[in-house]
Amino acid sequence: MLFDGWDELGRVLVMGVLGYAGLIVILRVTGKRTLAKMNAFDLVVTVSLGSVLAAAVLDENVSLAEAIAAFVVLCGLQFVIAWAAVRSERVRALVASEPALLAWEGRVLPDALKRERVAVEELRSVLRAAGRTSLEGVRAVVLETDGSFSVVGSDEWDGAPGAGAGDRFLALDGVVAPEGLGPAHLRQR
């Protein structure tokens, strides 16, 4: 059927606008972290929010109140899990994976590729996307926790792990890291 009537079309328009507005308000309240795709749980929440919005717009059996309640539950769960993961190593281990080193100092790490199910051709594609044609001059290729890849050139790394500017943390697991304060020109009180 191409057209069921103005009532159905009107309902889709109203539910689309109101559902979208409700989702935006909830996302603004819960903050930017809600849509950050930093781990698999974040991806599930993001996809689920879209599914709920689509169901509310297209399924006449789903009310606006039900959709808003589902948005609140999903965003609330994501907020609580992210909050707990910042404060608990145990929770973080449950919801977040560790980055995986796929290449180091110009050499592919075949066992890591197998473990992470990354083909050599995919690694080559990652290098091309980073403007590289080979592993020459590449210090590290990392599969990040969100599924993206990072290519770090030898020229971007000024020493062993922990020596690069990107490896300095102001705080880790809620504890101030004094060695990170100096480069940021900060002091611990």
Interval 144-176: pLDDT, tens:
888 889 999 887 765 544 444 454 554 555 555
Could you tell me where the DSSP H helices lie in the chain?
Answer: 6-30, 40-58, 64-87, 89-95, 110-116, 120-129, 178-181
Interval 78-116: pLDDT, tens:
999 989 988 998 998 888 888 899 999 999 999 999 999
Token duo for residue 105:
């100092």
Residue 52 contacts residue 71 (beta carbons within 8 Å): yes
The position carrying tokens 């006449």 is: 60
pLDDT mean across residues, the chain: 83
Interval 56-67: pLDDT, tens:
999 999 999 999
Compute CA distances 140 → 88, 108, 146, whole Å: 29, 9, 17
